[in-house]
Copies of this chain bind each other. A is one copy, B any other.
């Protein structure tokens, strides 16, 4: 089979540009409007996207003035979207630091059953003290500890998802025997962070377990991805950086004994599309004009761990920023932003403009052909297995992508023209259904 491109729609209220909610077309209440998300999901499904995705953090970001805050909880929202769609994969972000494996494993298994095998889990460890303080902690756990807990969380969750053999239900009415207890495997897990004795109270789901997705690009993050992830979202600004990330991650997976084809790398792209280049640039400028710069400065200071009031809008970043190793959360995002500013010698004002749409992801303004060209180049030159599409404005940006870019990708033979016979999310990404670890002599994740 020819290699095919994979597309994920990263949905976020009125769009990924922080000022998108101010446009006349945008609904400032979209973040809590099921109908808005149903519409987005159906547009993505019309575009035969592999999946859609919701980010998440268990805290309310201050400040409310600047842009829509709060959201429907992703697993809840995706369950509602499961009933409104038929084919598209549904990837929810959930934190290993602020959930218990038993509860979370149940929810994903339930969503996988309800959606007919379309559930995916974007595994995050959740940076930041705000979240920690909502869960009984005084401060954010250290980066390495968060990842150690994440790895143990995964091990427990995988045991739980395998705790029913696929044929554990006998359903022998005449004999009065419903299930076979010999085909149930209690987790019997005693670890550093978790102790979980029993079997899951949900039968094994259509996919076995949700597609495992990950987005951390720090050293710990990449090590984790190489071990567990089947799809990786990443923020990359240049083809060269993206290729080196791609090559590195595939090599790490291989060293971990996995098939490198079974870990799909999807950089994020914020396409701003116009029928001419000038039109696309004008749309980008219109968004930038709506940015309230004081908010952008505060956010940038927060990301860079600087005291409020440090940055000057019309100067470059200070020279004496700490190294990535001193940063406890969002390490790779930190480095990416600093490198972008240094490479292009951006003032803080310009940097905020560049980040407004993509928060570090590749922002690209151009015609549908030009957007398709970028995608094709990265896809064919070893930088991507597909893309995480992050429209600056929603729903219009997704609609334009589906109606104008997807046909070009299809015409070029890069992307599917219809959903294939395999109905699960793993099926879309060309991945096998995982074997049950209690049955396979050499348990494997892929």
Which residues of A approach B to under 8 Å, CB–CB? 19, 21-24, 26, 28-29, 32, 34, 57-73, 75-77, 79-80, 82-84, 98-100, 102-103, 106-107, 109-111, 113-114, 130, 133-136, 163-164, 168-169, 171, 173, 176-181, 184, 187, 194-203, 290, 292
Contacts and interface: CB of A to CB of B under 8 A. Distances in A.
Nearest to A27: B171
Contacts of A133: 195-198
A67 B134 contact: no
Nearest to A163: B60
A65 B107 contact: no
The A interface is mostly helix, strand or loop, or mixed, namely loop
Contact of A134 (B26, B198, B292): B198
Contacts of A202: 32, 70-73
Contacts of A32: 113, 202-203
Closest 7 CB pairs of A and B: A64-B179, A133-B197, A28-B171, A76-B110, A79-B79, A60-B201, A73-B110
A77 B106 CA distance: 11
A160 to B, nearest CB: 9
Q: Which residue, of A59, A168, A201, has the highest number of chain B Cβ atoms within 10 A?
A: A201
Nearest to A195: B136
Contacts of A195: 133, 136
Nearest to A94: B103
A82 B107 CA distance: 17
A65 B180 contact: yes
24 contacts: A24-B173, A28-B173, A28-B178, A29-B171, A32-B202, A34-B114, A57-B201, A58-B102, A60-B200, A64-B179, A64-B181, A65-B179, A68-B179, A69-B201, A70-B200, A71-B201, A73-B110, A73-B202, A75-B107, A83-B83, A102-B134, A134-B196, A136-B195, A136-B196
Contacts of A22: 173, 176
Contact of A72 (B110, B163, B198): B110
B28 A73 contact: no
A65 B100 CA distance: 28
Contacts of A164: 70
Contact of A197 (B66, B77, B134): B134
B201 A62 contact: no
A58 B179 contact: no
Contact of A111 (B23, B68, B76, B194): B76
Contacts of A61: 201
A59 to B, nearest CB: 5
Contact of A80 (B23, B79, B178): B79
Contact of A181 (B62, B83, B102, B198): B62
Nearest to A59: B198
A34 B205 CA distance: 13
Contacts of A58: 102-103, 106, 201
